[in-house]
Amino acid sequence: MTFTIYPAIDMRGGKCVRLLQGDYSKETVYGDSPFEMAKSFVEQGAEWIHMVDLDGAKAGAPVNHSFVLQVARELPAKVQIGGGIRSAEDVEFYLSQGVDRVILGSAAINNPSFVKEMLARHGEKIAIGLDAKDGYVATEGWVETSTVKATVLGLELAEAGAKTFIFTDIATDGMLSGPNVGATAELASVTGASVIASGGVSSMVDLQVLREFAGRGVVGAIVGKAIYTNKISLADAIEEVK
């Protein structure tokens, strides 16, 4: 089974940043150009770029879309984008401009009928971002926690056609404390879908552990802070999981 490394570019105010556990007041800027960052990732062998519009997540509409489209058009990598995508027009805008996969997150809780409609219309080009706190789905850029269990919502959306989930345990995100492998594997098991792990990857060992679950539906990992702080070499990581 293939296992893919997704280097992450979180955008705020046109810059590449990382937040600690999704907290907008705990931001570190790692670069002034999302495009140049993506280009460096592609030069190190990345086949996918994971982009998040943090301003969009807060605004409820795309804000940093120009950078996403530049990467999709000018670099030989696939792009997935999340953050603030709440309408059919937003989804179709990105997909029509060369983006390979659109991530729907908060909408999965706030507007499940819309998400199911997008799954019916666009199939595998839609990924569901499930961000959980203590097993429950968090929404609105992690500001709110719902009363819905991630596994319950995951199963419902898998039955509606979801093929790919991106699972983040907020407790681990940006902490370099290791991913929540158990919860990630559980979501894959319950839904029968492909799950990309997100949050907490801090070392090659973390990637090796996740890679062991590739045959059970854990198909990749999003890596952010560990790359920016040089705890992981992206080129080495891509080679390691091949």
Element (H, E) at 1: none
Close Cβ partners of 25 (under 8 Å, ≥ 6 residues apart)? none
Close Cβ partners of 15 (under 8 Å, ≥ 6 residues apart)? 29, 31, 32, 33, 34
Q: Which two tokens stand for residue 126?
A: 């839609």
HSE-up of 112 (CA within 13 Å, CB side)? 14
Residue 10 is among the residues annotated as catalytic for this protein: yes
Report, in this order, helix, strand and coil percent for the chain, each rounded to 5: 40, 30, 30
Cβ pair 10, 224 in contact under 8 A: yes
Cβ pair 154, 165 in contact under 8 A: yes
65 closest CA partner among 107, 40, 35, 31: 35
Q: Which two tokens stand for residue 36?
A: 């140049």
Instruction: Point out the catalytic residue in the list 55, 90, 131, 169.
Output: 131
Residue 131 is among the residues annotated as catalytic for this protein: yes
CA gap 198, 194 in Å, rounded: 13
Catalogue the active-site residues.
Answer: 10, 131
